[in-house]
Amino acid sequence: MEKLAKATGAKIVASLKDLNSESLGTARVIEETKIGDDKLTYVRDAKNPMAVTVVLRGGTEHVVDEADRSLHDALCVVRDAIEDGKIVAGGGAPEAETSKQLREYAVKVGGREQLAIEAFADAMEAVPLALAENAGLDPIDIMVDLRAKHENPENRWYGVDVFSGEIKDTRALNVLEPLRVKIQVVKSATEAASMILRIDDVVASKGTKGPPMPPGGGPGGMPGGMPGGEDY
């Protein structure tokens, strides 16, 4: 109702008594169309057509739900790109470039921290690896070619082309993603991994206690804990 009011320039009223000429909106065509077993009312050529309705149809409820989810994700991606005005390449290019820079930084840090940074760099490459595996490509060959491409700073836009099985400039292929989505993905994955590590620490600390002492405080459960039958 709110979207219909915005599109037609009408005002929502709570009662017919409040209805007047100023509350009415305008549209050139209002028609009822039957699609399948459902009747839908279409309002076309409204005064301010900034709102639209997308009708999704499918053979089963599951198909419709999947189409609804895909459309919602696509709209959210477009919204994020418009609001922030910042995008990155797709096809695993940002992850490969971030992994490369993390490894270069790890060498400068050294010590145990270097191992943690390198492990984070390996985790970043999970995205291009998953893309390669889902596309039926050899993940090892893909990662070798991807790392080789990103050795050149000018190739930071290069990612996995799942159609050709090659490493190409995803910007030229129009495979792009909003920066906000990438940042949120890395934050969520890092927080989840940190939470699991904290749980492991708690379990490990509880498991460090030794076995309980037998009755009497000594081996074999002897009353005094000392051989010979005398208590001290």
Residue type present at position 95: E
Say what the pLDDT of residue 232 is. 42
Say what the pLDDT of residue 217 is. 53
Say what the pLDDT of residue 104 is. 92
Say what the pLDDT of residue 2 is. 86
Crossing angle of helices 179-206 and 111-124, in 10° steps, is 130
Q: Strand 166-169 and strand 158-161: pairing? A: antiparallel
pLDDT 10s per residue in the chain (232 long)? 888 888 888 889 888 888 888 888 888 888 898 887 888 888 888 887 777 788 888 888 899 999 999 999 989 988 988 998 999 998 999 999 999 999 999 999 988 899 999 999 999 999 999 999 999 999 999 999 999 999 998 898 999 999 988 999 999 999 988 999 889 989 999 999 888 888 876 776 666 555 565 655 555 545 444 455 444 4
Dihedral of CA 36/42/44/48: which sign? Answer: negative
Using alpha carbons only, give the angle 105, 111, 112 rounded to the nearest 5 degrees.
100
Structural domains for the chain:
1-55 (no CATH), 93-192 (1.10.560.10)
Q: With H, G, I as helix, E, B as strand and everything else as coil, classify residue 38.
A: strand
Say what the pLDDT of residue 218 is. 52
Say what the pLDDT of residue 221 is. 47
Nearest residue to 176 (alpha-carbon basis) of 92, 96, 87: 87
Name the one residue in this structure whose structure tokens are 């039926």.
136
Between CA 208 and CA 203 the distance in angstroms is: 9
